[in-house]
Chains A and B, each alone.
Chain A
Amino acid sequence: MSGVGEMNEILLRPKVEFDVPVEAEVISPDLFAEKSHEEIGSLPVFLGNRKMCLKDLFEIEGQSSTNIVLEGDFSRVKKIGYGMSRGKIHIKGNVGMHTGATMKGGEIIVEGDAMDWLGAEMNGGLIWVKGSVGHFAGASYWGSKHGMNRGMILIEGNTGNEVGKKMRRGTIAIKGKTGDFLGVGMIGGTILAFSETGERPGAEMKRGSIVLFLENCTNPPPLLPTFTYNCTYSPTFLRVYLKTLRKLGFPVKEEYISGKYRRYNGDIVELGKGEILIYEP
């Protein structure tokens, strides 16, 4: 039953196409680690408002592992890796909302797209999405004091709006386009957006850094009037960050590492200790 590949893995495949969302925060290395095949199969999930077992909805192979592989369409499966603290989830297709939200450690790799709330309020670990993601990646949930508080989210595609809302620590890097209100209400941490971005980046940010590279961007959005130009320079921290990203395998152009950046501080309707750095080609 076990032995998918060389490493001990647990493989899940949806048995049917879901017409309503599935809530599956039990798909987590912390929960699978010490459980037998049978125990994993009887973990509770909700299909819409119906309580069911994991094995009712998914084919499961393997047991007792912190290494989970998901194959097939998981775009309606929510909360995968919710609160996980270790191990790895490799999602070979698309994945639903709240993936990796509140996670504390471990690694989630998404080959396809992820929906809204990816890594919301996460406290550690790494999420790497090869495709695009929805709104609120790394954000705070409604009412919370802060969003993402540690860890790293790397996105190779595009994102929706309000990515990094109220984030406090950690790093988000986005290769593709980003939506409106990037880093809204940011309290700390770093967002690197390599391509064009939407309206009002950094609105209400208190601290933290938003770095805009504006690659292939002919019409960059105006910054809010509550951001003030300071100087043009080469920030040391940025070189370290970019080199680290590159080491991880995230594509970073050489000219960014040695390039100059215009610095604006804001949002001065808040604390004004945040910064937006814009790459100067």
Chain B
Amino acid sequence: MIRITKGKVYDPINGINGKELDIWVDGGKIVQVGDAPDLVAERIIDAEGCIVMPGGIDIHSHIAGGKVNLGRKLRPEDHRKDVVPRTETTRSGVGHSIPSTFVTGYRYAQMGYTMVMEAAMPPLTAKHTHEELHDIPIIDKGSYTLMGNNHFILKFIEKGEIEKVKSFISWLLKTTKGYTIKIVNPCGVESWKWGKNVENIDQQAADYAVTPRQLISILSQIADELGLPHSIHLHCNNIGVPGNYETTVESMKATGTNRVHVTHAQFNSYGGKGWADIHSKAREVVEYVNEHPNVTFDAGQIVFGDTTTMTADGPWQYRLYLLSGNKWVNADVEMETSAGIVPYTFRKKSLVNAVQWAIGLELMLLAEDPWRAFMTTDHPNGGPFTFYPQIIKLLMSRAAREEMIAQLPRRALERISLPQITREYSLYEIAIITRAAPSKLLGLHQKGHLGVGADADIAIYRENPDVEKVFSSVQYLLKDGEVVVENGIVLKSTSGRILYVDPGEEGDIEEYIREEFEKFYTVTLDGYGVPENYLERGECVSCG
């Protein structure tokens, strides 16, 4: 038994806002909160002068799988400048924007995160993704399965066979050990295979009479019908294109009242007709979110500096390659999706980058409900996840924002509303957007809070006037009730859970698709999926 004492506890799910409370941990769970005269602790963690929060949960990050690994191959120079030597308790590796597997786990843990969701897993590389997730220590993980441009789904929708779409999705989630439906540039990625894209949500895919609107509407409906713990996870069409906020709002509308999570909304909240007049439409996007409780979003905040962009949105990455003149990888994933990777440096002096930087923060600061707004950088697209503490500081301090705004090109100021926004997040709200709300969004009951029965994933930060310092490195991190990080040093490499779903409504779809699958895929259907024994600590989260 461990007793954490004298710390200021921030636990929004249980309504605790900075109160000094004892937390008792045993058998990987929280067993008691508050005074417990009958309990005897073997270890007392003195958290005086510390903040106690549930472990952080990142709902959208690219940490494993085919495209992450392609990114690693593309960027030896990214690794060379951030070499991580072996220690007695940790393995060696490399870092910066596409860290190696071990370093990914260590660095999340050192920041107090205990769960991270891989945001885009092509079914064909599900095995690879899970193999890498297996090697990421300490944190719990899950993956969103890419479905927005899958040939079977497009074909069933074209034929109006919605029940088959539903069976297929149920089967695909189970087969890939995925957590929810990820949709990336619906119909656009399919069109990319023909050298095209879609420009609005009513334009059909190049070779299917299916529109993004149909696809978003049907898949969001199915996610709700299957009772998936998390909604559809939507990367909207027209990402990165000036004027794209209209597409974003239309996409949210297309779901009606079904749940939808709009990811990295920053990249999808641009006004203007081109790069010359790009400006913020964060307000317009957030207004829709504020008024519609079925919608959630994450920021996809950018961080000034060098990073690696990677997405299943092949056509967008082609545009970015032309814009930046940097090196580029374009990958095709057979009947499912694509991927593109381009290194990119966000510069303070760039007008466009300055506007992008402001939009991410505007979205977070204008969102009325912190339970539906999530802090991400869409790691590594907007910047490496290791910059989260910097973003927390910007959310919590107007002064910190002003200091940064002063360094931006003056012309950027008339295109953004950030300088006028006075809101400052409280620690309680930070605990919501990085812990409590993610847990709720993922439909998890044992995470994101410190109530009795919760998983003992607890981050203890040393208080400091500089919040960036506070969140950069934990004083203690408990994962499943064990102290795994102390004073920022990883003491122990445990292995985290893999969460997945099995909605159980696949029927006989596997046999139905077998012939076509075997005809067009480069792998056999029986070698395609991720069997349960592939996961060292698999945990099926119930649907419905």
Residues of A within 8 A of B75 (CB): 143
B76 at the interface (CB under 8 A from A): yes
B residues 310-338 in Cβ contact with A at 8 Å: none
Complex Cα distance, B76 from A141, in Å, reads 9
C-alpha spacing A144/B326, complex, angstroms = 11
Residue of A whose beta carbon sits closest to that of B80: A141
A148 to chain B, nearest CB (A): 15
CB contacts (< 8 Å) of B74 on chain A: these are 143
Could you say which residues of chain B place their CB within 8 Å of the CB of A142? 76-77
Is B78 located at the chain interface by the 8 A CB criterion?
Answer: yes
B326 to chain A, nearest CB (A): 8
Number of residue pairs across A and B with beta carbons under 8 Å? Answer: 13
Within B5-29, which residues are at the interface with A (CB < 8 Å)? none
| Interface size in chain B (residues, C-beta < 8 A) | 6
Within 8 A of A (CB), among B40-94: 74-78, 80
Measured CB to CB, the nearest residue on chain A to B326 is A145
Contact with B along A127-142 (1 / 0, CB 8 A): 0000000000000011
What are the residues of chain A within 8 A of B80 when measuring CB–CB? Answer: 141, 143
Q: Which of B75, B77, B78 has the most CB of A within 10 A?
A: B77
Interface size classification for chain A: under 10
Residues of A99-155 at the interface with B, using a CB-CB cut-off of 8 Å, are: 141-145
Chain A residues whose CB sits within 8 angstroms of the CB of B76 once the complex forms: 141-143
Instruction: Give A168 Cβ to nearest chain B Cβ, in Å.
Output: 15
A141 to B77, CA, bound (A): 8
From residue 171 to 203 of chain A, which have CB atoms closer than 8 A to chain B? Answer: none
Give 1 or 0 for each of B374-387: 1 = CB within 8 Å of chain A CB. 00000000000000
A158 to chain B, nearest CB (A): 28
CA distance A145 to B76 in the complex (A): 11
What separation, in Å, do the CA atoms of A145 and B75 have in the docked complex? 11
Chain A residues, CB < 8 A from B78? 143
Q: What residues of chain B lie closer than 8 Å to A143, measured between beta carbons?
A: 74-78, 80
Interface digits, A223-259 against B, CB 8 Å rule (1 contact, 0 not)?
0000000000000000000000000000000000000
* Residues of chain B within 8 A of A144, CB atoms compared: 77
Distance in angstroms between the alpha carbons of A144 and B77 in the assembled complex: 6
In the bound complex, what is the Cα–Cα distance between A142 and B78 (angstroms)?
10
Which chain B residues border A145 with CB–CB below 8 Å?
77
Bound-state Cα–Cα, A143 to B75, Å: 6
Would you give the shortest CB distance from A48 to chain B, in whole angstroms? 14
Measured in the bound complex, the distance between the Cα atoms of B74 and A145 in whole Å is 12
**Nearest CB on B from A126, distance (A):** 25
Closest to B74 in A: A143
A96 to B390, CA, bound (A): 42
Q: Which of A141, A142, A143, A145 has the most CB of B within 10 A?
A: A143
| 77-123 of chain B: CB within 8 A of chain A | 77-78, 80
Distance in angstroms between the alpha carbons of A94 and B427 in the assembled complex: 61
User: Roughly how many angstroms separate A145 CA and B306 CA in the complex, as a whole number?
Assistant: 13
Chain A residue with minimal CB distance to B86? A49
Name the residue among B74, B76, B78 with the largest chain A CB count within 10 angstroms.
B76
A156 nearest CB across to chain B (Å): 31
Q: Which chain B residues border A141 with CB–CB below 8 Å? A: 76-77, 80
B73 to chain A, nearest CB (A): 9
Residue of chain A at shortest CB distance from B325: A145
Nearest to A140 among chain B residues (CB) is: B77
A144's closest neighbor in chain B, by CB? B77
Which A34-71 residues have a C-beta within 8 angstroms of B?
none
Considering the chains assembled together, what is the distance between the CA atoms of A144 and B74 in angstroms? 10
Cα of A43 to Cα of B77 in the assembled complex, Å? 26
- Chain B, Cβ-Cβ closest to A51: B85
Alpha-carbon distance between A142 and B75 when the two chains are bound, in angstroms: 8
Once the chains are docked, how many angstroms separate the CA of A66 from the CA of B75?
Answer: 35
User: In whole angstroms, how far apart are the Cα atoms of A145 and B78 in the complex?
Assistant: 11
- B26 to chain A: closest CB distance in Å? 41
A117–chain B nearest beta-carbon distance, Å: 13
How distant is the Cα of A145 from the Cα of B77 in the complex, in angstroms?
9
Closest chain-A Cβ to B74's Cβ sits at a distance in Å of 7
A144 to B343, CA, bound (A): 11
Please, how many angstroms separate the alpha-carbon atoms of A19 and B75 in the complex? 32
Q: How far is the CA of A145 from the CA of B326 in the complex (A)?
A: 9
How long is the Cα–Cα vector from A2 to B209 in the complex, in angstroms?
84
Minimum C-beta distance from A119 to chain B (A): 17
Q: Give the nearest-CB partner of A142 in chain B.
A: B76
Complex A-B: 12 CB contacts under 8 Å: A141-B76, A141-B80, A142-B76, A142-B77, A143-B74, A143-B75, A143-B76, A143-B77, A143-B78, A143-B80, A144-B77, A145-B77
| Among all A-B residue pairs, the 9 with the closest Cβ atoms | A143-B77, A143-B76, A142-B76, A144-B77, A143-B75, A141-B80, A141-B77, A141-B76, A142-B77
Interface residues of B (CB under 8 A from A): 74-78, 80
Given contacts A141-B77, A143-B75, A143-B78, 10 further A-B pairs with CB under 8 A are A141-B76, A141-B80, A142-B76, A142-B77, A143-B74, A143-B76, A143-B77, A143-B80, A144-B77, A145-B77
